[in-house]
C-alpha cells in the first residue's frame, strides 16, 4: 500500500479488496467501484458496491462517485432479478455511521435480494408525528441543503 495513505485506509478491508490485495468474490468492477459478495450475507446473493477511493460515509463521498455507486447498484439489482438467485424483491441499504449500524467504515451500498420467508427483517417502529413538527423538521433540512446552482 501507498505510504501516504492514512492509518484508517491502511486497515480498511474494503480498500484492500478494491486494491486486489485480498480475495473477494467479485461481481463487477470498473475504475470507480468494485462490487463483491458479502462474506456475511443476510440472504443468498447479498453483495456490496464499494468505491475504490476510501470514503467513510455520505459526508466523505463525492457526488460523482455516489451517483456511480447507486447506478451500478441499480444495474446489479436488475441482474439479480434475472439471475437464478431467488429475488422476488431487492433491498438497497446504506448504513452511515455507527448509530445507523455501520460496521465497516468505508462507504458501501448493500444490494440484498429478498424472497418471502428469507428470514431477514427490518423491525422498525414508526411514530406518528404532529404536522407542525414535520414542518419544523422540513425547514431545518431545507436550511441545511447547500446551494446547487
| DSSP codes joined into one string, 56-91 | -STTTS-HHHHHHHHHHHHHHHHHHHHSSS--SEEE
- Res 2: pLDDT: 43
- Quick one: CATH architecture of 7-116? 2-Layer Sandwich (3.30)
Please state the rounded mean pLDDT for residues 126-147.
87
Q: How far apart are CA 110 and CA 131, in angstroms?
A: 33
pLDDT score of 116: 93
Mean pLDDT (the chain, rounded): 90
Q: Domain residue spans in the chain?
A: 7-116
Q: What is the pTM of this model?
A: 0.86
On the question of pLDDT at 68 being above 80, the answer is yes
Q: Please give the DSSP secondary-structure letter assigned to residue 43.
A: S
Structure confidence at residue 144 (pLDDT): 86
Please give the average per-residue pLDDT across 95-124, as a whole number: 94
Residue with the three cell numbers 438497497: 92
CA distance 136 to 23: 48
Amino acid at each position: 500500500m501507498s505510504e501516504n495513505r492514512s492509518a484508517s485506509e491502511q486497515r480498511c478491508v474494503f480498500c484492500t479488496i478494491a486494491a486486489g490485495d485480498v480475495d473477494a468474490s467479485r461481481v463487477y468492477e470498473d475504475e470507480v467501484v468494485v462490487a463483491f459478495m458479502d462474506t456475511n450475507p443476510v440472504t443468498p446473493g447479498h453483495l456490496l458496491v464499494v468505491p475504490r477511493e476510501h470514503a467513510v460515509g455520505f459526508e466523505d463521498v463525492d457526488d460523482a462517485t455516489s451517483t456511480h455507486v447507486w447506478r451500478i447498484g441499480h444495474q446489479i439489482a436488475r441482474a439479480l432479478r434475472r439471475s437464478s438467485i431467488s429475488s422476488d424483491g431487492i433491498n438497497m441499504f446504506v448504513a452511515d455511521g455507527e448509530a445507523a449500524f455501520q460496521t465497516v467504515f468505508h462507504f458501501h451500498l448493500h444490494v440484498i435480494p429478498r424472497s418471502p420467508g428469507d428470514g431477514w427483517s427490518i423491525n422498525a417502529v414508526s411514530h406518528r408525528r404532529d404536522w407542525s413538527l414535520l414542518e419544523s423538521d422540513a425547514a431545518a433540512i431545507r436550511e441545511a441543503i447547500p446551494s446547487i446552482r
